[in-house]
Structure formats: C-alpha cells, structure tokens
Amino acid sequence: MHLSGSRRVVHAEPPMHSPRRHFLLHSLAGAAVFSCGGLTQARDEPLPSPDAAVPPPATPTPSESGAIARAPQTCGRTAANIEGPFFRPGAPLATANTLSLTPSGAAGTRLQLVGCITDPQCQPLPGAMLEIWHADHHGDYDDEAFTYRGRVRVGADGRFDLRTIVPGHYRVGGGHRPAHIHVKVHANGRPSLTTQLYFEGDRFNAGDPFIHRSLIMPITQSGEGLKAAFDIAI
C-alpha cells in the first residue's frame, strides 16, 4: 500500500547506495552471463508479517561467491503483487532491447536488471511486453511525466536488459516500504502479470506486509552500481 493523495512521500531512511548498504556491493566475477529460466526463485511464501515480531536483518549476509545467486530452475509462475496507486499507462516504448530509464545526470545508484520473460516451463516468450515503473532515489514517483517509467518488447530469446537506478524507500503508515520495482508483463494468449521486484538485503523487507520471498532479487556489484538478475514467468 502506498500513501494516498500525495505524490511526495517522506523518506527518512538512507538510500540503497549509502555506506550502510555496502553489504550489497560484491564484485561480479566475469561477464554478465545468465540464461532464461534459471533466475526465478521458486519460493512463494510471504515473509512474516510485522505482527510476527521478526526483526529486520541487522547485518544481512551477502553471497560469499560474489556471483549472482541462482535459484533452481523451477520457473512456475512468478508471484503477483499489488499494483499500487502510481501506475500510469502509456509509458514510452523502447526502440531497442535495452530499456534505459535513467535521465542524464540522474542521482542515485545505477542498477542493471537482466532476465527473461518465460512461460511456466521456463521457455522464452518472444514478443512479450515488459512494463516498468518505480520511485526515484528519494522514494518519489513521477506522476506528471514518465521518469522511471517505460516499456520494452522482448525479442526471440525473451531477454530484457533494464538500466535504471535503485529506487528509494518511502513511508507507508508507520513504516517504510522496501526498495521495489513495479512490473507488468503482457504476452498474447496469457493472463497479464502485475508484480513487484525487491532487493536482497533491504532492511525493510522483513517488515513489509506485501512482499513475497520469491520476488526478492539477488544483488551483486557491477562497476559503480548494482546488478540484479531475475526471470519473470507468466
């Protein structure tokens, strides 16, 4: 749930790129190698609710290898998640396979998110449409234009390559939403999917009432920014 009636939301927490978040920064060994159907996590149970009194991880444990962690190749269908109030139809459609949402000179930690759009059997879905929207590094959505909003149609291999920034946290009620990227996927002959992708290690993951474990992306360092890999099956 998002704040209603106001686009500007308070963000009292450090951005993902602060020193406190350097646990996320691991060197990415080698080139960006990934394959369709190998990155979708199979877990679909929700995280414990705040009522379960499970504290957020004070010191999240990074991957020891530094490489992108990969879940078993059991695609299934990616879990749905709430749309929230900030979706705007008609976002710009990329003319290339890479969807670049970062304005020139934009602040925030750069993020590359790669993956594939597949069916539940891990087979690529050529021509599927991926739509993205997320907050800026302060946790604000652009409700007047299309900053950090865009669409891309994947090619024959189903792959997408999103270049953007790590979204900021924002307040909801008495807490904060963890960093997340809103996603819609459309493919002919299939029910569309609306969901959100979350960041491994975010301190607000454990207390968020909407998150599903299966939607948390493994994160690694890539140059000066972060890299995430996640397949989306519909």
Q: Is 46 one of the binding residues for Fe ion (CB under 5 A)? A: no
# chain residues binding Fe ion, by CB under 5 A: 1
In whole angstroms, the minimum distance from the beta carbon of 142 to Fe ion comes to 12
The site string for Fe ion over 56-85 (x = CB under 5 A, - otherwise) reads ----------------------------x-
How far is Cα 186 from Cα 58, in angstroms, rounded to an integer?
38
Closer residue to Fe ion (CB): 122 or 181: 181
Q: Environment class of residue 96 by beta-carbon count within 10 Å: exposed (0-12), middle (13-18) or buried (19+)?
A: exposed
Closer residue to Fe ion (CB): 23 or 86: 86
In whole angstroms, the minimum distance from the beta carbon of 179 to Fe ion comes to 9
Q: Is 209 one of the binding residues for Fe ion (CB under 5 A)? A: no
* Token pair for 56: 């957020």
In whole angstroms, the minimum distance from the beta carbon of 199 to Fe ion comes to 13
Query: Could you give the C-alpha distances from 228 to 162, 173, 180, in angstroms and in order?
Result: 10, 29, 12
* Token pair for 161: 């390559």
Q: Name the residue type at position 109.
A: T
Closer residue to Fe ion (CB): 1 or 29: 1
Q: How far apart are the first and last CA of the chain?
A: 23
Which residues in this chain contact Fe ion in the complex, by CB under 5 A?
A: 84
